[in-house]
Amino acid sequence: MELFELTRPELEEAVAAIGMKPFRGRQIFRWLYQELATDISMMTDISKSGREELAQRFTVRPLTAPEVFTSADGTEKLRFTLDDGAIIEAVIIPEKGRVTLCVSTQVGCPLGCLFCRTGSLGFSRDLTVREIVGQHWAAQKRLAEAGKRVTNIVFMGMGEPLLNLASTVKSARIMMDDLGFNLSNRRVTISTVGIPDKLDELGGQVSVNLALSLHAVTDEKRRAIMPATKNWPLKELLAALRRFPLPPRKKILIEYVLLRGVNDSPAEARQLVKIARSLNAKINLIPFNTFDGAPYEPSIAAAIQDFQQAIWDAGLTVIIRKSRGDESLAACGQLGYVPDTGDLEEDD
């Protein structure tokens, strides 16, 4: 049994099942996520005979050390090769007073959003809990060498988290466990295109921040740029969002990527205001991060400013997301490995 697949309660049950006291599970859990142990033999507050028995029954397999690609702004893209040869990417984003880690939940993405490089690469499979948590573990280990730690997690990497709901929820619980990575639920955000029934399931299982990848204000426009959303009409989606339980004093974040001549008109800004107001949400405008073969262009600076001003004038909170790591294809919507591109410089 792989220890990185288990939440703390599951680990306590697993050690109890082999005749050990449940508190041994808590000790093991702390070793894995706070001491970043790579082997059961390192868990020295457990007897030698106990460690030997554990080693016979459990495995500890961190992800293989990632390739690291560093951008001029300090953003680091971590590229992991998984056991089956699949490749996923996560991104460390250093900011003043915090370090955000963007993690992936799937190999590729099945949604096929036309403005997203990941979506253009297709879908292979869901990630396991070990593979999701392992991205956090590897980033934490890398940062620890510099005396830093991950302070915020965003499930905004490759894939749609709600289509891998069980592994996403278990991973979030491990990250927020006080003997795990000990993150407040106010520092964990799950980003989704919005799947009404899955939103209800998520809200019933874990309390985290929610980011909605909206990107268009009508069903017709959403279907055009995000084909999979034909299954989830805005009326049903907005109703599910109003039901979603957020951490105290938190608001839903509406993410809106601006595409030139597609969704950046003043009329669409006004409609976005109506949607945000109905949800008591804040808005994050995202300049389009282009990629080879992209069918759209970024909105011009004046259009972005006018769009933001229209939202400000309506009295809503709106920020423009600063692009981070775009020269190493680490920015929003750019993740996904294509062999032999020759466009990245590897960090030692």
Per-residue confidence band for 205, with pLDDT thresholds at 50, 70 and 90? very high
Give the DSSP H or E segment for 310. helix 301-313
Predicted local confidence at residue 208, as pLDDT: 96
- Please say if 102 is a catalytic residue: no
Predicted local confidence at residue 329, as pLDDT: 47
Copy the structure tokens of residue 217: 């204000």
Residue in 76, 89, 131, 255 annotated catalytic: 89
The 8 Å CB, 24+ separation contacts for 305-314 are 306/266, 306/269, 307/258, 307/264, 307/266, 307/268, 307/269, 310/266, 310/269, 310/270, 310/273, 311/269, 311/272, 311/273, 311/276, 311/283, 314/270, 314/273, 314/277
Distances (CA, A) of 107 to 50, 85, 87, 119, 123: 37, 11, 7, 10, 6
Q: Which superfamily does CATH assign the domain made up of 67-347 to? A: Aldolase class I (3.20.20.70)
Fold identical between 3-57 and 67-347?
Answer: no
Domain ranges of the chain: 3-57, 67-347
Reply yes or no on domain 3-57 having CATH 1.10.150.530. Answer: yes
What are the pLDDT digits (tens) for 312-337?
Answer: 999 999 999 876 545 444 445 556 66
Predicted local confidence at residue 347, as pLDDT: 43
More confident residue, 292 or 152: 152
Q: Given a cut of 90, is residue 121 above it in pLDDT?
A: no
What are the pLDDT digits (tens) for 154-198?
Answer: 999 999 999 999 999 999 999 999 999 999 999 999 999 999 999
- DSSP code, position 265: S
Q: What is the average pLDDT value for the chain, to the nearest integer?
A: 92
More confident residue, 145 or 344: 145
Per-residue confidence band for 268, with pLDDT thresholds at 50, 70 and 90? very high
Which among 41, 30, 29, 90 is positioned nearest to 65, based on CA atoms?
90
**pTM: predicted TM-score of the whole model, two decimal places:** 0.92
Residue in 102, 109, 113, 332 annotated catalytic: 332
Per-residue confidence band for 346, with pLDDT thresholds at 50, 70 and 90? very low
